[in-house]
Amino acid sequence: MNQALWVAKTGLDAQQTRMSVVSNNLANVNTTGFKKGRAVFEDLIYQTCRQPGAQSTQDTQLPSGLMIGTGVRTVATEKLFQQGNLVQTHNSMDMAIEGRGFFQILMPNGDMGYTRDGSFQINSEGEVVMSNGYPLQPGVVIPEEAQTIGISQDGIITVQLPGQVDPQELGQIQTADFINPAGLQPIGENLFLETAASGAAQESTPGANGLGQIVHCALETSNVNIAEELVNMIETQRSYEANSKALSTADSMIQFANNNLAR
């Protein structure tokens, strides 16, 4: 079938994907610890209709060829792991990572999930859990009678118990790092899974081995920049329009041939 039609169709597809990525970024502009995505495009393979450089006679070569590109494709929708802004919340269970690293979360199926969302809560058994109830790993149980909770930069959780002078140490939060965070698989609920592309999780103490420190009573906002996304949206829309115009033009060319020939 007509090449021009199919090339324009790939353009529409790609812009549609980019629009979904932009909308998802905008929808998550207030999601704690959210990392924005970006659609990466590449041109599809080229189809040689006339080989450039072929011999036209024994002594001469064709100076030019005809290579028709077959369009564009979305090669990745990668996550950009730039630091989001830190906001003070004064909530003693909130923590943010300033720098590299992820909190480790035990998922219901026993797998380990990773998140930058530090809005933790305490469940009925005193466990530190994410807002969706999945517990932080290594697990920490906060005693019922605890009066205040403190979390140090390197992740040591201490509580003040009634009648005691010294705070009691409950455990230390360990964070995980990946050589290629962009290879992590986002699964929703602010969680990521390890993949072959991300590399194995390297667990360590916050603040050591290049991992970021923990900031207590603060949350990391999403790293989406609204102005940037709106510009992306305008660009996407205009490209979509141009491709849709190309599609209808290719169609009208065939239509013209159909209506005017062989009657």
Residues 125-184 touching other proteins, rule: CB under 8 A, are 177, 179-180, 182-183
**What DSSP line would sit under 76-91, residue for residue?**
EEEE--PPPPEEE---
Is 51 a binding residue for other proteins by CB under 8 A? The answer is: no
Which residue from 27, 67, 187, 226 is in contact with other proteins, where contact means CB under 8 A?
A: 67
Is 18 a binding residue for other proteins by CB under 8 A? The answer is: yes
- Pairwise CA distance, residues 118 & 9, whole Å: 42
Longest CA pairwise span in the chain (Å): 101
Q: 139-147: long-range contacts at Cβ-Cβ below 8 A with a sequence spacing of 24 or more?
A: 139/106, 139/171, 140/170, 140/171, 140/173, 141/170, 142/170
Q: Where are the alpha helices (DSSP H) in 82-218?
A: none
State which residue, 160 or 202, has the beta carbon closest to other proteins: 202
- Site size toward other proteins, by CB under 8 A: 73
Is 98 a binding residue for other proteins by CB under 8 A? The answer is: no
Is 65 a binding residue for other proteins by CB under 8 A? The answer is: yes
State which residue, 141 or 233, has the beta carbon closest to other proteins: 233
Is 234 a binding residue for other proteins by CB under 8 A? The answer is: no
Which residue from 156, 172, 199, 201 is in contact with other proteins, where contact means CB under 8 A?
A: 199
Query: What's the closest the beta carbon of residue 42 comes to other proteins, in angstroms?
Result: 5
Query: What's the closest the beta carbon of residue 226 comes to other proteins, in angstroms?
Result: 15
User: Do the Cβ atoms of 247 and 9 come closer than 8 Å?
Assistant: yes
Is 52 a binding residue for other proteins by CB under 8 A? The answer is: yes
* Strand-pair category, 95-98 with 213-216: antiparallel
* Strand-pair category, 121-122 with 128-129: antiparallel
Stretch that binds other proteins, among 85-93, 112-120, 155-163, 193-201 (CB under 8 A): 193-201
Strand partners, 172: 156
Stretch that binds other proteins, among 42-50, 113-121, 129-137, 164-172 (CB under 8 A): 42-50
